[in-house]
Amino acid sequence: MHRRGFLTAAALGAAGVLAGCAAPAGGGSPADGPVRAATYIPKSYDDLYPGVEVTLDAVGRAGGPAFDLFDGGTLLGAEQLLPGLLLGAADLVFQTSSYVSSSFPALGAMELPFGTEDYARHRRVFDPDGPLVALVNEQLAEKDVRLLGGMPLTYEYFWTVDRPVRRPEDVAGLRVRVAGEIEGETVKALGGAPVSMGSAEVFEALQRGTIDGMLSYLGTVVSRDLQSILRYGTRCQIGSYTFDAYCRRSWYDALDPGLRAALDAGGRALYREGTATMVAVHQDQYLPEVVRGGVEIVDPTPDELAALRAATEPVRARWEAALGRPAVSARMAEIVRTA
């Protein structure tokens, strides 16, 4: 099932898909013992997994509940995490925003191409105590979701096999793997054809020529050994996403203030320590590994960046239409612009 369809299916009664692991009604209270945390990320993700660990450690140090952690998709797969959270299969989930921003458009504020163009500012924008996260949580509350905190991942690259991407015309006709709706809109705006597939399928698809390239952050390339096939990586803010901790708003609100404060401490740890670890791994480990694999890192000139930026401008308008709240999207844009 396409990612965009999963939450819709859940809303239409796909509870049976997850019934075998759903918590009983009223379950998940810390008084009942350990509560469940889930992620599709395995321990082999050196950049993201430490964020999961520091979050749960920080919650425990602050006097919060103990968690049974189900990682590597052992409880819920990547596309099941948010539906599973809403159905009570887990109480805390760690998920990348690209999987869910089409169902929760407010999250797209951090995924837009050329939104900040400065990673330090990009990182500031996503402070869990800042105005953007507060505004995002106002929107998520309507669907019983709360964002505790997240890691703004380093910018995505445009990875290709046969030719580098410097200008929009370089994308024309390319079949490009994407992991989310905003990425897909970006590829279409540049003249390419987006192809949705799981990261486990990408190596073979590139090898066979089924796709010509991909939009992704560094972690996907290294974790799937794609540097052995890819030959070019265009470095610019062509896209971005976050790795986040979510819980149900109703569950959070029912906890006593001390437990809520402990969960908030976990969200701050994910944002601060988790992000710092991720950035260090990308700079010191992943990028050098990609270069050693034979990938040429391409830095567009100012004129080339301007052309890419202009070509992707319609993506913002489509996101604003999906959110459907002009005042909210305008406020989000102002927060990002002035961070």
Q: Which fold has domain 33-154+241-284?
A: D-Maltodextrin-Binding Protein; domain 2 (3.40.190)
Residue 337 has pLDDT above 80, yes or no: yes
Q: Where are the domains of the chain?
A: 33-154+241-284, 157-239+295-338
Q: Which CATH architecture has domain 157-239+295-338?
A: 3-Layer(aba) Sandwich (3.40)
Q: What integer pLDDT is reported at residue 103 of this predicted model?
A: 87
Is it true that 33-154+241-284 and 157-239+295-338 share their CATH fold? Answer: yes
pLDDT tens for each residue of 100-135: 888 899 999 989 999 888 999 999 999 999 999 999
Q: What integer pLDDT is reported at residue 317 of this predicted model?
A: 94
d(CA 320, CA 102): 12
Helix axes 302-323, 181-189, angle to 10 degrees: 130
